[in-house]
Amino acid sequence: MSAEQAQQQIIEEFSAYEDWLDKYNLLIEMGKDIPVIDPRHKTNNHLINGCQSRVWLHAELRDDGKVYFSADSDAVITRGMVSLLIRVLSGRTPDEILNTNLHFIDAIGLTEHLSPTRSNGLVSMIKQMKLYAQVFQLKTKN
Amino acid sequence: MSAEQAQQQIIEEFSAYEDWLDKYNLLIEMGKDIPVIDPRHKTNNHLINGCQSRVWLHAELRDDGKVYFSADSDAVITRGMVSLLIRVLSGRTPDEILNTNLHFIDAIGLTEHLSPTRSNGLVSMIKQMKLYAQVFQLKTKN
Amino acid sequence: MSTLPDVDALRQSFPALAQTVYGKPLIYLDNGATTQKPLSVINRLKQYYKAENANIHRGVHYLSQLSTDAFEKARASVAAHINARQKHEIIFTRGTTEAINLIAHSFAQHLNKNAPKVLITAMEHHSNLVPWQQWVLQNGGRLMVAGLKPDGSLNMEHFEALLEEQPDIVAITHVSNVLGTVNPVKAITSIAHARGIPVLVDGAQAIAHMPVDIQDIDCDFYVFSGHKAYGPMGVGVLYGKEVWLDRLPPYQFGGEMVDRVSFDTTTFNELPFKFEAGTPNVGAVLALETALSFIRKTGYEAIAAHEHNLTSYGHQLLSRVEDIEFYGTAPGKEAVISFNIKGIHPYDLGTLLDKMGIAVRTGHHCAQPLMDHLGIPGTVRASMAVYNTLNEMERLAEAVNKAAMMLR
Amino acid sequence: MSTLPDVDALRQSFPALAQTVYGKPLIYLDNGATTQKPLSVINRLKQYYKAENANIHRGVHYLSQLSTDAFEKARASVAAHINARQKHEIIFTRGTTEAINLIAHSFAQHLNKNAPKVLITAMEHHSNLVPWQQWVLQNGGRLMVAGLKPDGSLNMEHFEALLEEQPDIVAITHVSNVLGTVNPVKAITSIAHARGIPVLVDGAQAIAHMPVDIQDIDCDFYVFSGHKAYGPMGVGVLYGKEVWLDRLPPYQFGGEMVDRVSFDTTTFNELPFKFEAGTPNVGAVLALETALSFIRKTGYEAIAAHEHNLTSYGHQLLSRVEDIEFYGTAPGKEAVISFNIKGIHPYDLGTLLDKMGIAVRTGHHCAQPLMDHLGIPGTVRASMAVYNTLNEMERLAEAVNKAAMMLR
Ligand SMILES: Cc1ncc(COP(=O)(O)O)c(C=O)c1O
Ligand SMILES: Cc1ncc(COP(=O)(O)O)c(C=O)c1O
């Protein structure tokens, strides 16, 4: 499944719900399936600071040339958001990650989480994921 | 003429004019008749500071038991206002000065000059005249 | 109950309360951060800019005089509101934070001392902590922090013990923005004064809720913000005793605060102007006067009675929520309910409440050391104002229940 | 002349201009002190308090998020208005005076030096003079004052000579509030930078009248007030180059400007928050954004063309008044006419003009040293804005004539 297909799938899953709370219920459930970061990576080094909730993000480039993310957050809604990002971006090549336009966030009505002033740190998280991809891209090209 | 009569006279003189500029014309004219302060009293000691125009005020208690004021200002409108005050208050006993309610200012439509925030220093001037009267009153009673 | 305000009528004059968010009627319970404004306040601002606006002091023209008179009348009115002896003991600032910074700075300059000591409490807002901390840090001094009792009230024994070490100043909040605790600032001032120690009281969370009588408290400085008391942002009040304000050097320079300036030297204006540098926020000062008069018209007694009902009803309803923990349960506490639900992050709870139309604040509430003290990352805080209703407290409790179920 | 604004249409949106005072139509020529506000600005304030008001940053609820987004968008918009490279180079303050005090304080702390030297000019407003003066006085330093030429322009030879003494900072006004002189701030910055000296430009009297391109000027700090540019009181802008703002220590403490606070120590937030302590004046910031967009919509070119016409026409008419003396006649001067009539006190003239419905400012205009330099107690100052008319200039000249006749 491509990143785009993953986004479509998420949009479809969310489209079943009209009510905000139902959407959030789904989001929370999805957070439970997050590829959990190895406890020894749950350090300040891997911390992305939002003002209110904390996110730890780890990335590794495997031999298949793809980047695999794992993460965690102390807030379950944030964890849900992160798990969606991972579904879309994890297991892809650096190029794919860098070229993916994350339109699904808007489509499922969670745009507000993308506000640069939002205190959940989602924006810095996406930045961080793309940064990892960039670093790995340089690595693979050398 | 009592202080009250002096106030009535001023009110009458001003009542001849409707237009603001005519009233100010009269005020300016009246400023020319001010009992001018002796130049050697025109010192910082006798200075009452408004923000914009300066007023020098001198007072003396003569043998007749009455207080005589003389003054000057670098602004002619201020000098006009001061000359009216002198007309009402000068040549009176300390008691009379302290008991005079200066209602004429309101009656001739110059209340605005009495605003404590007015930068012409009229309020401090009236205070200063009453203060002189108080000091002289104490003196005469001892 | 005859003193209760007519809340339904009163709500009519707060346009912000009539909104819906996400299709749900807004329940605004973030009043500790800032209150909504009655129409009278909004209209005062509008009226000022439509027909009175001018720069004040020193201007001889009509509008300037009009504005100046209104501004100085507002000062007198604020002085009367808190029963200050003299109107020049009222300094207008940008807010509580600026007022405290002003005093901390000028007091530090005045004292000009090595190793200064400042006594605060563990429940201070950053604004009444960091200014003092930075001063003592830069001068090898010490920030002394009086601890709390389990119910969130001040540990007076600890406070008094620290007082014996003779701090240079006491800075204490009147009401805690997290715990709602009302500190005994009158008693504290009295024992501090017995040792010759001046007292600053941070009234940011008090002025909208309880009458403040400055002469009764007898503190040396009292500060608050307009925007937390139904007034606009950008204006605050610093009350200082004349003897102190006379003694302290000015803080900022320029504008109305000077008397005579030459290139070589400057003499400063008298009180209150000495502490008001630059063009003041005239419109906001007038609107603050209107806000305080809204409070007086509603009546502190009525406000307190209603808010007390809201708070205790809210507590009662919320205490039925499984695994809820409250922070701050001191007797007589103000209209603030801070809580967490075990195992649930406050951010999650706040986000879901928001989706249900309920505005609460989550996080550390600018009181990180208090959070550390309580051993938690933050709380959910519902803070009430006179326009909140018992029904809103019910909907809060329902929503918390529902959210908790989703999050568990 | 195709670029001239439609002043009649434009006046319709300024309610304050439609007033009468003492039964005469108001002619408002005190724009250097503060401008009147267009309805769009007044309505922005109203709208904010009616439907958006909340405390910003860190809040997760709808209104708080809405306000925060609007506030940060306004920051970006202000940055774009003056062509700043980055939006975090824009700090919101209470006004010009606070902005200069902030820089003077933080710069002094940063330099931490004995005998500092600051180079200013003889035409500075007290707000760009006293903060520097107090710093140098307290540290055995020196305030260096570049003189003026007879037409009120800066004596560049003197300025450059003083620059060779290597002051620590140059603080200069972009436009003189008394003389209207426009200083060559770009050239000045360039020669100061050649010597490694940073430059602060006081733009209080510029921003409403001429485009300001911060990257072109290349100064290190640029400051202005909202209320002198059709915006509300209580908000100002401090632009600072990122390298400088990063380097300087914070000014006030508390609120959003901290990152992590414990009782022992505090780390500060990143730019721009590091310099914004306490609840900002959100509503005023949004209304300032609206004011700047009013300016852009009207167009700096159109504004300047019209104001230039007003100024030269006013000069022309007034120069026929017997014994009139003008202060400030430098080429390209801004929309300010300062004058006296020999033997007539400015206060008298101002008072009579006021009675004729004309609002001008009289006195020292917070530039006492300049008055001393000119050897006068004060001036009468007519300062124009885009909404003034040629007809108003005629009525000004008539009124001055009439008043002069009365006063002689
Ligand atoms: C107790 C307390 N002190 C000070 C402040 C700071 O007030 P402001 O942000 O208006 O300066 C607040 C507001 O959050 C507060 O609750
Ligand atoms: C040149 C100049 N600088 C600074 C100021 C001070 O501005 P504010 O009073 O808005 O702080 C003014 C306004 O009078 C000014 O004209």
Sign of CA dihedral B21, B22, B27, B32: positive
Q: Over 80: is that where the pLDDT of B7 sits?
A: yes
Contact of C257 with C269, CB cutoff 8 Å = yes
Q: Pick the catalytic residue from A47, A51, A131, A138.
A: A51
Q: Kindly give the pairing relationship between strand C24-25 and strand C379-383.
A: unpaired
pLDDT at B115: 74
Q: Over 60: is that where the pLDDT of C375 sits?
A: yes
Residue C43, token pair as written in the block? 């209209």
List, chain by chain if needed, residues with CB within 6 Å of any ligand 1 atom. Answer: C 95-97, 125, 127-128, 173, 177, 202, 204-205, 225, 366; D 255, 278-279
Helix residue ranges per DSSP H, A16-121? 20-31, 76-89, 94-99, 104-107
> Distance from CA of residue A17 to its chain's centroid?
21
Residue of B53 and D24 predicted with greater confidence: D24
Q: Over 50: is that where the pLDDT of C1 sits?
A: no
- Contact across the interface for D68 and A117, Cβ inside 8 Å: yes
Atom 16 (ligand 1): residue with closest C-alpha? Answer: C177
**Atom of ligand 1 minimally distant from the CA of C175:** 1
Q: Which of C183, C223, C225 to mutate to test the pocket of ligand 1 (most atoms within 8 A of CB)?
A: C225
D310's torsion region: left (phi>0), alpha (psi -120 to 50) or beta?
Answer: alpha
The C-alpha of D333 sits at a distance from chain C's nearest C-alpha, in angstroms, of 23
Q: What is the total count of domains within chain B?
A: 1
CB neighbours of C76 closer than 8 A, spacing ≥ 6?
Answer: C87
pLDDT at D1: 46
Q: Which of C35, C97, C182, C364 to mutate to test the pocket of ligand 1 (most atoms within 8 A of CB)?
A: C97
Contact of C387 with C10, CB cutoff 8 Å = yes
In whole angstroms, what is the distance from residue B127 CA to residue B131 CA?
6
In whole angstroms, what is the distance from residue A107 CA to residue A102 CA?
10
Structurally, at CATH architecture level, domain D42-296 sits in 3-Layer(aba) Sandwich (3.40)
- CATH number of residue A101's parent domain: 3.90.1010.10
The C-alpha of D297 sits at a distance from chain A's nearest C-alpha, in angstroms, of 28
Task: Name which of B14-23, C296-305, D99-108 the model is least confident about.
Answer: B14-23
Cα of A110 vs centre of ligand 2, distance in Å, is 45
For the segment C85-137, what is each residue's pLDDT rounded down to a tens digit? 999 999 999 999 999 999 999 999 999 999 999 999 999 999 999 999 999 99
pLDDT at C129: 98
Q: Tell how many helices (H) and how many strands (E) occur in chain C.
A: 14, 17
The stretch B37-44 carries a mean pLDDT of 91
pLDDT at A140: 81
For residue D165, the SS3 value is coil
For the segment C350-374, what is each residue's pLDDT rounded down to a tens digit? 999 999 999 999 999 999 999 999 9
Q: Any idea what the Cα angle at residue D72 is, between residues D66 and D78, rounded to 5°?
A: 135
- DSSP code at position D406: H
In whole angstroms, what is the distance from residue D280 CA to residue D56 CA?
8
- Average pLDDT for runs of 10 along chain D of length 408: 85 97 96 98 98 90 94 98 98 98 98 97 98 97 97 98 98 98 98 98 98 98 98 98 98 91 93 96 98 98 97 98 97 97 95 96 94 94 98 98 95
Contact residues on chain C for B109, CB-CB shorter than 8 A: none
The answer to whether residue D263 neighbours chain B at the CB level (below 8 Å) is no
Query: What backbone phi and psi angles, to 5 degrees, belong to D37?
Result: -115, 135
In whole angstroms, what is the distance from residue C78 CA to residue C87 CA?
8
Residue of C2 and C139 predicted with greater confidence: C139
In whole angstroms, what is the distance from residue C171 CA to residue C190 CA?
14
Centre a 10 Å sphere on the Cβ of residue D69 and count the other Cβ atoms it contains: 16
Q: Over 50: is that where the pLDDT of A47 sits?
A: yes
> pLDDT over 70 for what percent of chain C?
100
Residue of C352, C362, C406, C408 for testing the chain A interface, max A β-carbons within 10 Å:
C406
Classify residue B105 by burial, with Cβ atoms within 10 Å: 0-12, 13-18, 19+. buried
The answer to whether residue D255 neighbours chain A at the CB level (below 8 Å) is no
**CA torsion angle D139 D143 D144 D146 (round to 10):** 160
Q: Kindly give the pairing relationship between strand B54-61 and strand B47-49.
A: antiparallel
Q: Kindly give the pairing relationship between strand C20-21 and strand D258-261.
A: unpaired
pLDDT at A8: 97
Which regions of D163-220 does DSSP assign to beta strands (E)?
169-173, 199-202
Pick the CATH number of D7-30+299-407 from 3.10.450.50, 3.90.1150.10, 3.30.70.260, 3.40.640.10: 3.90.1150.10
- DSSP code at position C87: G
In whole angstroms, what is the distance from residue C143 CA to residue D332 CA?
56
Classify residue B30 by burial, with Cβ atoms within 10 Å: 0-12, 13-18, 19+. buried
For residue C200, the SS3 value is strand
Q: Please report, as a single letter, which amino acid is at residue B133.
A: A
Of C49, C253, C277, the CB nearest to D42: C49
* Parent domain of B34: 3-141
The answer to whether residue B31 neighbours chain D at the CB level (below 8 Å) is no
The C-alpha of A88 sits at a distance from chain C's nearest C-alpha, in angstroms, of 23
| DSSP structure string for A31-51 | HTT--BPPGGG-SGGGEEE-S
ipTM of predicted complex: 0.95
Which residue is closest to D405 within chain B, CA to CA? Answer: B25
The stretch B22-31 carries a mean pLDDT of 94
Of B20, B51, B74, the CB nearest to D345: B74
Q: Pick the catalytic residue from B51, B99, B112, B134.
A: B51
pLDDT at A119: 62
**Atom of ligand 2 minimally distant from the CA of C279:** 9
- Contact across the interface for C360 and D143, Cβ inside 8 Å: no
Q: Domain boundaries in chain C?
A: 7-30+299-407, 42-296
Rg (CA), chain A: 15
Query: What backbone phi and psi angles, to 5 degrees, belong to D20?
Result: -115, 145
| A82: confidence class by pLDDT, cuts 50, 70, 90 | very high
